[in-house]
Amino acid sequence: MENNGINSYHGYAATDLYRVDPRLGTNADYKRLVEKAHCNGLKIIFDHISNHIGIRHPWLKDLPTDTWLNGSTEDHLSDKHYLLSITDPHADPYTEELLHTFWFVDSMPDLNQRDPFLADYLIQNVLWWIEYSGIDGIREDTYPYADQAFLARWAESILHEYPNFNIVGEIWATEPAYIAMFQKNSQLAPTFETNLPCLMDFPLSQALRHYLEGTGKLQDIYRIFAQDFLYTDVDNLLTFFDNHDMARGIFIADKNMRKIQQVLIMLLTTRGIPQILYGTEINMIGGESHIELRADFPGGFPGHNRDAFTETGRTNEENEIFHYLRDLLHLRKTHKALTHGKMIHYPPSFQADVYKYLRIYGDEKVLVMVNGHQGKQLVDLSEVSHWFTSKNKFWNLMTGEQMVLDCQQGIFIEGWGTLILQTRE
């Protein structure tokens, strides 16, 4: 959206809800982008927000109604991130009101979706964008902060018109029970049906990040997956380990390439829809500031002295992770067990932090093993042996090599190592 304001590079301070920011192009350019993407088998996801606008939006000069905003430029609430108030049985009901009415920052006025005219405007606006541009899905920013009854109607209106559409809600909380409540058909929802199909899996993201940092173990990742019974559709969760709002995985892993490879494997061989931040394919390191988080990809921009979109424009280290990730994505695309298979996993022991899980689809079984120690470990496979017979042959999917595997004797895995083994009946 047009963000005609100071420090508005992030795009969340809209000043015209019907116009693409002219720094990026025109509405017609956006429509052509979607069309060309579709010609190449790609889909376009629209990053959207119903919670607030920019302070320079023309509405601020002449509000359509007296209840268009929560508060005013002179008098409004700040810093009331009371997310758990929605489900907290001990919360003062007023705290949820504070959550839905405070301003993120003084330059982004909070919209009051309980105003019926504003609610209609926001719904009609997003339906117009879908119909005009042909986009395939929406990422809805700051999902818990807007009025929940409105968002339920907003999502229902979209999916009524476009049944094959997907909407993912950004619900930045790390408790699976809390975010699961927002998924449609949930029995955990307190008062109404949310109609929201997809959730951002921040609980898994936190577990993966703690593992990269060294403050967490593979046991913590196992515990997140063990709570999947809370969700109504675990395959419609958006999984990730970093994004545009947080330090990159390679940065917090202190450049531990082996750990990054492990997390990429877990991300791409477990349930959900993986999200990979641009630059991950060349291990862009970034930093902690928002300027570093959202730095330009090297190449394709004026003034860049190299082009990392090309093999020759990347360093040897960048090409190593680029080819590794490309091969891993190819495996995900060609082995349905990794995307559609039933997942069966085993608790990592306290002595040996090794995570084992199976993906089973038809006659194909894929066994993934992750070593959470820096030293080589012997992995006990006795508890998975009943899934295999002496006739099974195993292939290392990352190298293509055939392997002999004796489940009773186990297998050694290098420090911070991972194995992806495939077998068929």
Check residue 8 and give its pLDDT.
80
Q: What pLDDT, on a 0 to 100 scale, did the predictor assign at position 55?
A: 96
**What share of the chain in percent tops pLDDT 90?**
88
pLDDT of 208 over the 80 cut? yes
Residue 195's alpha-carbon distances to 154, 160, 185, 205, in angstroms, are: 9, 10, 7, 23
104 with 173, same domain? yes
What does the alpha-carbon distance between residue 66 and residue 129 come to, in Å, rounded to a whole number? 27
**Residue at 307 is within a domain:** yes
Q: What is the pLDDT of residues 178-201, one digit of tens each?
A: 999 999 999 887 677 999 999 999
Give 3-state DSSP helix, strand, coil % of the chain, rounded to 5. Answer: 35, 15, 50
Q: Which residues pair with 418 in a beta bridge?
A: 370
Tell me if residue 398 falls in helix, strand or coil: coil
**Last residue of some domain: 319, 339, 359?**
339
Looking at residue 281, the DSSP 8-state letter turns out to be G
Task: Report pLDDT for 376.
Answer: 95
pLDDT of residue 406: 83
Task: Out of 316, 339, 362, pick the residue that ends a domain.
Answer: 339
Q: What is the pLDDT of residue 190?
A: 65
Respond yes or no: is residue 16 known to be catalytic: no
Q: Taking a C-beta distance cutoff of 8 angstroms, is the pair 141, 49 a contact?
A: yes
Report the pLDDT averaged over residues 327-346.
97
Residue the block writes with tokens 């992806």: 420
- Find the domain containing 407 and state its range: 340-424
Tell me, yes or no, whether 6 lies in a domain: no
- Look at the block and give the residue holding tokens 């970034």: 286
Q: Indicate whether 111 and 150 sit together in one domain.
A: yes
Are both 285 and 217 inside the same structural domain? Answer: yes
Quote the CA–CA distance of 295 and 306 in Å, as a whole number: 15
Cα 98 from Cα 79, distance rounded (Å) = 9
Q: Which of 170, 201, 220, 242 is catalytic?
A: 170
Task: Say yes or no: 277 and 163 in one domain.
Answer: yes
User: For the chain, how many structural domains are there in total?
Assistant: 2
47 is catalytic: no
What residues contact 239, with CB distance under 8 A and at least 6 apart?
201, 204, 205, 267, 270, 271, 272, 273, 274, 275
Dihedral (CA of 64, 116, 126, 187) sign? positive
180 and 194 together in one domain: yes
Q: Are residues 328 and 263 in the same domain?
A: yes
Q: Is residue 247 part of a domain?
A: yes
CATH number at residue 199: 3.20.20.80
Contact of 170 with 143, CB cutoff 8 Å: yes
Residue 174: pLDDT band by 50, 70, 90 thresholds?
A: very high
270 and 292 in a single domain? The answer is: yes
Q: Which of 79-88, 153-162, 255-264, 314-323 has the lowest mean pLDDT?
A: 79-88
297 and 401, same domain (yes or no): no
321 plus 352 within the same structural domain: no
Q: Where are the alpha helices (DSSP H) in 245-336?
A: 249-252, 257-269, 290-293, 316-334
For residue 16, being part of any structural domain is answered with no
Same domain membership, residue 200 and residue 149: yes
CA pair distance 135, 37, nearest whole angstrom: 10
Answer yes or no: is 14 within a domain: no
Cβ-based burial of 40 (10 A; exposed 0-12, middle 13-18, buried ≥19): exposed
**What pLDDT is stored for residue 307 in this prediction?**
94
- How many CA atoms are closer than 13 Å to the CA of 236, on its beta-carbon side? 19
| pLDDT for 279 beyond 70 | yes
> For residue 18, is it within any domain?
no
Q: Kindly report, residue by residue over 119-130, the tens digit of the pLDDT.
A: 999 999 999 999
Residue 384 sits in a domain whose CATH number is 2.60.40.1180
Whether 145 and 206 share a structural domain:
yes
Q: Can you tell me the distance from the alpha carbon of 106 to that of 78, in angstroms, rounded to the nearest whole number?
A: 8
Give yes or no for residue 176 having a pLDDT over 90. yes
pLDDT of residue 290: 85
Which of 294, 315, 339 is the C-terminal boundary of a domain? 339
pLDDT at 352: 86
Question: Within a domain: residue 294?
Answer: yes
pLDDT at 32: 98
If asked whether residues 192 and 223 sit together in one domain, one would say yes
pLDDT in tens, 133-162: 999 999 999 999 999 999 999 999 999 999
**Looking at residues 37-49, what average pLDDT do you find?**
97
